[in-house]
Amino acid sequence: MKIGFIGLGIMGKPMAKNLIRAGHELVVFDFNKAAVEELVGCGAQAADSSKAVAVACRVVITMVPNSPHVKAAVMGEGGVLEGAKAGDILIDMSSIAPLASQEVYKACKEKGVRMIDAPVSGGQPKAIDGSLSIMVGGDEDTFKEVYDILMVMGSSAVYCGASGAGNTTKLANQVIVAVNIAALSEGLMLAAKAGVDPEKVFNAIKGGLAGSTVMNAKAPMMIAHTFEPGFRIDLHIKDLNNALETGHSVGAPLPLTAYVQEILENLHFAGEGSSDHSAIAKYYEKMAGSEIKFEG
């Protein structure tokens, strides 16, 4: 199938490559010309605008940073809706505010374009190996129609409800991940300051109730003090801003989210915005005056 792909960043580029490996014909667009050239080298066709992508393809995927970027790519000048035809499908896999997703959905519907919001979880490693978790909002029939495409990029794709439900689910995911990483940092710092090897603590508890995918992924990074990004702090700040905004609009209390957001903002202004979100551990190290490591 010929598929359009707009947004070839840290997540979009490996997702697009997986579609090519699966035998799909891709037409791609990004303002980063080097990323476009890399995909062309993998067999994709380059387009000069989001509109041109939509003209060439009946199914278009967008994977861009935030709500304004999705609106520009879809509804703006030279956007998807200028080139799309009635019956076409837009799959927005960006992580954006649910209200923004519903706004884009409405604009698509007015032109007869079918849209689902399908944000992902798993970070760059799972984007590379095609094992992302995909959460979907919009028309269920459209979800079923593109399910096989989604499963090229993910190990699961779950329909969550009407337009915006996918992004609401993603925000819940990001809240849980952020608070989990902060709690993990606290626990490992407690162990280190008490003179117990954090690595032994991790190995002892990872199979119990405290164990989680987050712990398995992030504890080794904290212990080794390697914070190369799988998911950048600045992107998590964006997601938690959307979560807090959504929480305020629906009356959902998010006090733990607000606290972790302050930690992330502190790290951003300390120059850690491009570090992996496991660098939340650095906030605790600064507060404790020592690193998460065994001093015994």
Catalytic residues, by residue number, are 170
Q: How far apart are CA 257 and CA 183, in angstroms?
A: 12
Give residue 143's identity as a one-letter amino acid code. Answer: F
Residue of 124, 214, 134, 189 whose CA lies nearest to 166: 134
Between the alpha carbon of residue 99 and those of residues 73, 110, 218, 276, 277, the distances in Å are 17, 17, 31, 27, 25
- What is the CB neighbour count within 10 angstroms for residue 252? 14
Q: How far apart are CA 64 and CA 53, in angstroms?
A: 15
User: Is the alpha carbon torsion for 13, 19, 23, 26 positive or negative?
Assistant: negative
Residue of 170, 179, 169, 172 whose CA lies nearest to 264: 179
Helix (H) or strand (E) holding 235: helix 233-250
